[in-house]
Amino acid sequence: MKLIQRPIYTTRIIPFINKQVIKVLTGQRRVGKSYVMLQLMEHIRNTDQQANIIYINMELDDYIHIRTHVDLSAYLKDKFIEGKNNYFFIDEVQEVQEFERTLRSLLAKGTCDIYCTGSNANMLSGELATYLAGRYLVFHIHSLSYQEFLQFHQLENKLESLLLYLQYGGMPFLPSIGLREDLPYEYLRNVYSTILLKDVVARENIRNVSFLENLVAYLADNIGSLFSASNISKYLKSQKVDISPQLTISYLRALSNTFFVHKAVRSEIGGLKIFEIGEKYYFEDMGLRNAIVGFNQRADIHKLMENAVYLYLKQQNYQVFVGKLGDKEIDFVGDKNGAKIYVQVCLTIIDESTANREFGNLLKIEDNYPKYVITLNDILIGQGKDGIIQKNLIDFLTEQL
């Protein structure tokens, strides 16, 4: 099996090989966590031919007998070889009840170098945080970036390829299916069903599946819109669905826990205040979003552009917020170790009034961090104006931030 390298992730993880800290790869189901793990194994074998690697994939029937930490510890009992470097990899570790007990024991004994993947954020806030605080590192794996999409699908970097990315998204298995007719959406709808039923409904004990599906459709249709649980509930009531804001919040949290959608909260620019009301939601994969509600290029293009920019900032390891400056809004504020980037997204700038609106909010920010206006056209009005850079989306998604 040929592995297409994803160095954006492996180069972050490799420096921690053989360090006594658990490496946790998180992310939505089917975004390629397992393949990043396989690439790490390949790297280890190439650098240490005597390495003893134990690999468990909890999605395979081969390991159906491993259900609890007791089962896992029993399985591993005779797997490690004294005198060799031992490495333990386990996929979808959250499928093992109280898995953290086994990992803590292995770590305490210095038995092996540990790597695991998981598709639920509760694993970090609950299981791992309780037993292994300060002894694990998290690496978030995302669906393909636009650059990876070009590489995986062997496409040229041009507008047609960008539109395919916005339409079909970046699930790594799609090159095996091809981007033609309705085949990609058949696959994506199956992935969506698996995420919804296995990762959300079953793990989060969701009872009102119909409401959950309506909520997903609402999020898909309102990418980039500021709203609250109360507003969503009011909308659903207008559709004859009577759901409380509290239940809406609970279901939104469940969707976020699986990394299916991401919440971008509002943050005061130049201050420390985080606003608890009024956030935006973006999808981990745009193809999944389009498989749910359909793809209408004319109506959806700006929403998908904004989603693509959000994802790219996350893929570049930024924390991403919606910026608030008085009564003005900045689409995205990215923060990476204190260094910031500000981004406005606009479909097109065809006149001076549009330019003034998009550039104007950025001009009010009184610092020297990079500021961008991202468009889908090449009509450059005000490029470089007071240090603000206008870029085409295709160029922004292919530069190293």
Other beta carbons within 10 Å of 230: 14
Domain boundaries, the chain: 7-140, 146-396
Question: Which of 7-16, 176-185, 345-354 bottoms out in mean pLDDT, i.e. has the lowest?
Answer: 345-354
Give which of 219, 30, 216 is closest to 141, Cα–Cα. Answer: 30
Task: Give the CA dihedral 315, 317, 319, 320, nearest 10 degrees.
Answer: -30
For residue 399, pLDDT over 80 is answered with: yes
Q: What is the distance between the alpha carbons of residues 209 and 197, in angstroms, rounded to a whole number?
A: 9
Segment 263-319, tens digit of pLDDT: 999 999 987 677 767 899 999 999 999 999 999 999 999 999 999 999 999 999 999
CA angle, residues 356, 359, 360, in degrees to nearest 5? 65
CATH superfamily name and code, 7-140: P-loop containing nucleotide triphosphate hydrolases (3.40.50.300)
For residues 194-203, average pLDDT: 93
Give backbone dihedrals phi and psi of 278, rounded to 5 degrees, phi first: 90, 85
Distances in whole angstroms, Cα of residue 357 to Cα of each of 364, 370, 375, 381, 391: 11, 18, 13, 12, 16
Distances in whole angstroms, Cα of residue 320 to Cα of each of 62, 216, 224, 323, 391: 40, 21, 13, 9, 19
Give residue 382's pLDDT band: very low, low, confident or very high (50, 70, 90): very low
Tell me the whole-structure pTM to 2 decimals.
0.94
Q: What is the distance between the alpha carbons of residues 151 and 143, in angstroms, rounded to a whole number?
A: 13
Task: Give the CA dihedral 140, 142, 148, 149, nearest 10 degrees.
Answer: 180
Q: What is the pLDDT of residue 134?
A: 87
Give residue 385's pLDDT band: very low, low, confident or very high (50, 70, 90): low
Segment 237-261, tens digit of pLDDT: 787 777 888 898 899 999 999 999 9
Q: What is the DSSP letter of 182?
A: T
